[in-house]
Amino acid sequence: MRRVRPWLIALGVIVLLGMGAYVLRIGSGNAQSKTSSPSAQTGRTAPVPVVATAARTSDVAVYLRGLGSVTPLNTVTVHTRVDGELTRVPFQEGQRVNAGDLLAEIDPRPFQVQLTQAQGQLARDEALLRNARVDLDRYRTLVAEDSAPKQQLDTQVELVRQYEGVVETDRGLIDNVKLQLTYCRITAPLGGRLGLRLVDPGNIVHATDQNGLVVITQLQPIAVVFTIPEDSLPPVLAKLNAGAKLAVEAWDREQKQRLASGTLLTVDNQIDPTTGTVRLKAVFPNADGRLFASQFVNARLRLDVRRDATVVPAAAIQQSAQGTFVYVVKPDHSATVRPVKVGVTEGDSAAIDSGVSPAEMVVVDGAERLREGSRVDLQEPGSGAPAPRRAP
């Protein structure tokens, strides 16, 4: 039997002592960490970081919303009223014009010739009329002296009346030619914005042309036609019948930018049975020209204003199977569930009919991690890391 060398036994003892010391050190470290953690000392979970804001008192507008399109109050296709060569078109496409501004000119020379002829015809017929009146006076004298038959006098009277009618016809012909000369200058019938030019100078235009010369669209003021549900019609009619002027706002497609403000003009006289909606028309001054014909807009009709309502951010409103609620932060930095009745919601704000009082703190961010009685750590809005502060 071989003897175990003494130095091997000594080495084994040293290894065993070292392992025992390591195990004791690890155990003592774990025990120290457990006793030093805040959760172990207090017996509670760590606070949940949230963002909260105080409920406030404010006036809240009650709006009816509808989809609409911008419609000009007047759109006119400018036509010529006489036939002729288009000699001049002084307007620029897209420019704004006022009523009476010159748009085009037609060659007036043919009508000037007609005017000269009509004036000559009038001069001749007026001379015949004067001569007939002189003869009438002569026949009256002869008949009074019994030197001429009365039948000849009667014939002369009718001849004078005939010439008077011819002169009136000539004068009407002259007025007609002068009117045609006026029509050679084509002016804007109303103020608005011009479209694209439809006929170039040098072309022969006719009063029967279908396309016309240019289209004028009135943009100031301008209208917006929009729809609302038929169930919302009674309060609108009640306001209108009481003489109220209801304000209407036009917003862009994304409902992020208000384009114009106006007033409700009228309500259509029938409801669309296929959609259950009724059309309304509002008028906007459109002084800055932000509304354009056929533009799509979101219309907001302000029906009423709720005074001194309790308002909280819409982000604070939570939904559950039991209904609508918010998390309210109590002075001891704990969160409690508060059932609420939500009234009017406008944009990022919601009016609370019951459940929250002004100045109470409601959670707007981080509510998904909360439970009844959860401890909260209030943060500044928009902060990336917890920024504790005391609730008021």
> Which one is the CATH code of 108-183: 1.10.10, 1.10.287, 3.40.50, 3.40.1800?
1.10.287
Per-residue model confidence as pLDDT tens digits over 114-139: 999 999 999 999 999 999 999 999 98
pLDDT at 306: 83
Is residue 293 classed as helix, strand or coil in its secondary structure?
coil
Fold observed for domain 64-73+219-307: Elongation Factor Tu (Ef-tu); domain 3 (2.40.30)
Is 84-104+185-217 a CATH 2.40.50.100 domain? yes
A 10 A CB-CB count for 70 gives 22
> Which residues make Cβ contacts (< 8 Å) with residue 148, sequence separation at least 6?
139, 142
pLDDT at 64 exceeding the cut of 50? yes
Strand 376-379, strand 48-54: pairing: parallel
pLDDT at 62: 84
121 vs 38, 130, 347, 362, CA distance in Å?
Answer: 118, 14, 77, 95
Indicate left, alpha or beta for 59 from its phi (over 0: left) and psi (-120 to 50: alpha): beta
CA distance 361 to 327: 8
More confident call, 118 vs 322: 118
Fold observed for domain 48-62+308-379: 2.40.420
Per-residue model confidence as pLDDT tens digits over 31-62: 444 444 444 444 457 888 988 888 888 888 88
More confident call, 386 vs 307: 307
CA distance 250 to 63: 12
Would you say the C-alpha torsion 217, 218, 222, 228 has a positive or negative sign?
A: negative
pLDDT at 63: 87
Looking at residue 3, what DSSP letter applies?
Answer: P
Per-residue model confidence as pLDDT tens digits over 173-224: 999 999 999 999 999 999 999 999 999 999 999 999 998 999 999 999 999 9
Longest dimension (CA), the chain: 196
**181's tokens:** 């000369």
pLDDT at 69 exceeding the cut of 60? yes
Q: What mean pLDDT do residues 95-111 have?
A: 95
Domains of the chain: which residue ranges? 48-62+308-379, 64-73+219-307, 84-104+185-217, 108-183
Q: What mean pLDDT do residues 346-358 have?
A: 84
pLDDT at 179: 95
Is residue 129 classed as helix, strand or coil in its secondary structure?
helix
236-242 long-range Cβ contacts below 8 angstroms, 24+ apart: 236/64, 236/264, 236/267, 236/280, 236/301, 236/303, 237/267, 239/303, 240/264, 240/267
Residues in the chain: 392
Whether 275 contacts 227, CB under 8 Å:
yes
**What share of the chain has pLDDT > 70, as a percent?**
86
